Amino acid sequence: MTGYENYNREAFFEAAIKLKLRGAEPVHTASLPDGLGYEVYLEKSLEALDGCDAICFLRGWEESKGALMEYGYAKSRGLPEIKL
């Protein structure tokens, strides 16, 4: 989310709508308030993954240091990936 206008929140919310239409209950950190600090956002996202059954990433996630960490954590837990 770092480096994107409004932290790319619109893309997260749009993806959440698409996932809900598929019957999923999306969880993301885009609704957290501004100003918490990078480490806090990453910690919250990894904590959120503990309650997830699958993962879904936005286009370009491979360029994000945080998303790469989330991906590795999710894969280490055996979570399948949902493609949009």
Tokens linked to 77: 């837990």
Compute CA distances 29 → 70, 75, whole Å.
Answer: 12, 19
Q: What's the CA gap between 69 and 46, in Å, rounded?
A: 9
pTM above 0.95, yes or no: no
Which pLDDT tens digit goes with each residue over 41-65?
A: 999 999 999 999 999 999 989 999 9
